């Protein structure tokens, strides 16, 4: 199944995608993770992307679309994938459609901005394995250290107040219209995403038709 997780930054897409990918052995393709890795390795893509990411802006479409379309050609994507953080604009969605990669299902994480700001400002990310923590809701056992791999946890530079504000502005302007785009295509499922992680996981499992439960 080709699935997309859509929603504002901080909605919990990465957290849920990682849980699901572990359960279902489906590749979790996070464009944010791919770009951060490219920046760390100073690849040509990383060098182009860095200043946009630091400012909370979208990386130019031609750069990110090329990265994603190449990734989707890999063998592990033949049986489906979970896209997290892409598409973020109508042009990106059309790039998928144009390559026969239209999603079977789009899960929209519906959450208010106040919740998202609170989540982002206390997010911590593992430098080594990318695991996601929250200082209040999902704290690591040992301060500053990843429970899974012992890697160092860091506060993303784009999780600072000014970049958060900019990312939300960009989301409203460029990305939010994808909700209607995919609703129109008949593939959108909305889930309330302000509850706790396990509750949302159940919602995602159901939205993707993996739960085995009937609707009513
Ligand atoms: P996104 O990938 O949508 O940007 P993340 O999955 O990185 O969002 O989550 C953003 C922050 O919110 C992280 O600190 C994460 O630990 C926390 N978080 C995720 N889901 C929940 C939840 N249901 N309740 C509370 N905090 C959450
Ligand atoms: P994320 O980890 O999804 O919050 O993404 C972090 C940053 O990477 C974003 O603020 C953008 O600068 C960049 N980025 C990730 N995905 C995309 C995309 N689909 N289009 C443009 N920029 C992206």
pLDDT at 213 over 70: no
CA atoms of 68 and 11, how far apart (whole Å) = 21
8, two tokens: 């504002």
Q: What is the mean pLDDT of residues 18-33?
A: 91
Tens digit of each residue's pLDDT (9 = 90 or more) over 123-163: 999 999 999 999 999 999 999 999 999 999 999 989 999 99
Reported as a pLDDT band with limits 50, 70 and 90, residue 215 is very low
Residue 214, pLDDT score:
44
pLDDT at 216 over 70: no
pLDDT at 211 over 80: no
Q: Which ligand is nearest to the CA of 120?
A: 1
Reported as a pLDDT band with limits 50, 70 and 90, residue 22 is confident
Based on the residue annotation, tell me whether 172 is a catalytic residue of this protein.
no
pLDDT at 209 over 70: yes
Instruction: Quote the mean pLDDT of the chain.
Output: 94
Ligand 2 centre to CA of 186 (Å) is 25
Reported as a pLDDT band with limits 50, 70 and 90, residue 180 is very high
Closest approach atom of ligand 1 to CA 109: 3
Tell me, what DSSP letter sits at residue 102? -
Catalytic-role residue among 2, 13, 119, 124: 13
Check pocket membership of 8 for ligand 2, CB cut-off 6 A: no
pLDDT at 184 over 80: yes
Residue 85, pLDDT score:
97
Q: Which ligand is nearest to the CA of 68?
A: 2
Name residue 106's beta-bridge partners. 4, 188
Based on the residue annotation, tell me whether 123 is a catalytic residue of this protein.
yes
Ligand 2 centre to CA of 153 (Å) is 20
213, two tokens: 């439960």
Residue 183, pLDDT score:
98
Residue 212, pLDDT score:
53
Residue found under tokens 């209040």: 136
CA atoms of 105 and 42, how far apart (whole Å) = 34
Based on the residue annotation, tell me whether 165 is a catalytic residue of this protein.
no
Tens digit of each residue's pLDDT (9 = 90 or more) over 34-84: 999 999 999 999 999 999 999 999 999 999 999 999 999 999 999 999 999
CA atoms of 92 and 198, how far apart (whole Å) = 30
> Pairing mode, if any, of strands 123-126 and 153-154?
antiparallel
Check pocket membership of 191 for ligand 2, CB cut-off 6 A: no
Residue 100, pLDDT score:
94
pTM of the model: 0.95
Any residues with Cβ below 6 Å from ligand 1, and which?
7, 9-15, 119-120, 123, 132-134, 137-138, 196-197, 200
pLDDT at 92 over 80: yes
Based on the residue annotation, tell me whether 119 is a catalytic residue of this protein.
no
Q: What is the mean pLDDT of residues 4-14?
A: 98
**How many alpha carbons fall within 13 Å on the CB side of residue 155?**
11
Shortest-distance Cα residue to atom 19 of ligand 1: 12
Ligand 2 centre to CA of 4 (Å) is 14
Residue 90, pLDDT score:
98
Residue 54: partners with Cβ closer than 8 Å, 6 or more residues away: 157, 158, 163
Ligand 1 centre to CA of 98 (Å) is 31
């Amino acid at each position: 199944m080709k699935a997309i997780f859509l929603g504002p930054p901080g909605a919990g897409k990465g957290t849920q995608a990682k849980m699901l990918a572990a359960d279902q052995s489906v590749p979790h393709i996070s464009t944010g993770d791919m770009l951060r890795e490219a920046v760390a390795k100073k690849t040509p893509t990383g060098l182009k992307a860095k200043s946009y990411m630091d400012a909370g802006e979208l990386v130019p479409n031609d750069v990110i679309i090329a990265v994603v379309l190449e990734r989707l050609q890999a063998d592990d994507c033949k049986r489906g994938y979970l896209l997290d953080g892409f598409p973020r604009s109508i042009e990106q969605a059309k790039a998928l459609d144009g390559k026969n990669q239209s999603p079977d299902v789009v899960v929209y994480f519906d959450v208010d901005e106040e919740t998202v700001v609170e989540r982002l400002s206390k997010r911590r990310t593992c430098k080594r394995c990318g695991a996601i923590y929250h200082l209040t809701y999902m704290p690591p056992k040992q301060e500053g250290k990843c429970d899974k791999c012992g890697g160092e946890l860091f506060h993303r530079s784009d999780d600072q107040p000014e970049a958060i504000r900019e990312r939300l502005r960009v989301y409203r302007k460029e990305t939010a219209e994808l909700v209607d785009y995919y609703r129109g295509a008949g593939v959108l499922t909305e889930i309330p995403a302000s509850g706790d992680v396990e509750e949302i996981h159940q919602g995602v499992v159901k939205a993707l038709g993996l739960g085995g439960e009937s609707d009513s």
